[in-house]
Amino acid sequence: MSDFNFGNEVRVQMPRGVSKRGIAGISVLYSTWPEARFDGATGTVIGIDPRSKYGIPLYLVDFSRHKNRSAIPWQRQWFRGGWIVPVEERKPQPVSTDGELAAASGQAQTSLTGSS
């Protein structure tokens, strides 16, 4: 589990699981919690409660200065430390070279003459 400080950028990642139909997503134990609506949203830690009501450290995350694709219901929310992860730096994906997407040897031709 990570420790976060004021000003850290974090992304909400709820516990994962599989539904009765076999669809992967947020665990069914947490899918009805209000925090589940923030899954995938990016925000900034603005408050820390090291010993909350039940002794679990909580982090207040502010989403107002970030552009999120998911529709979040309100701008600030308390999260457990296990439900947020540090934001990775966005790296441009490398463009494939000529040989990566080429067909394997002999796969580009058919066995029939004149039919390709």
Q: Model confidence over 51-110: pLDDT tens digits?
A: 888 888 999 999 988 887 777 788 899 998 888 999 876 666 666 555 555 555 655 566
Q: Where in the sequence is the domain holding 46, given as residue range(s)?
A: 9-84
Unique residue bearing structure tokens 């207040």: 60
Number of domains in the chain: 1
Is 102 part of any domain?
no
The pair of structure tokens assigned to 53 is: 């009501």
Q: Which residues pair with 11 in a beta bridge?
A: 42, 85
Is 109 part of any domain?
no
Is 15 part of any domain?
yes
Is 16 part of any domain?
yes
Is 36 part of any domain?
yes
Is 17 part of any domain?
yes
Q: How confident is the model at residue 50 (pLDDT cuts 50, 70, 90)?
A: confident
DSSP structural state of residue 68: -
| 116 pLDDT above the threshold of 60 | no
Q: Residue 21: which residues within 8 A CB-CB, separation 6 or more?
A: none
pLDDT at 52 (0 to 100): 84
Question: Measured between alpha carbons, how far is 76 from 113 in angstroms, rounded to an integer?
Answer: 67
pLDDT at 98 (0 to 100): 58
Q: Are strands 42-49 and 58-62 parallel, antiparallel or unpaired?
A: antiparallel
Mean pLDDT of 8-12: 91
Is 51 part of any domain?
yes
State the pTM of this model.
0.68
Is 31 part of any domain?
yes
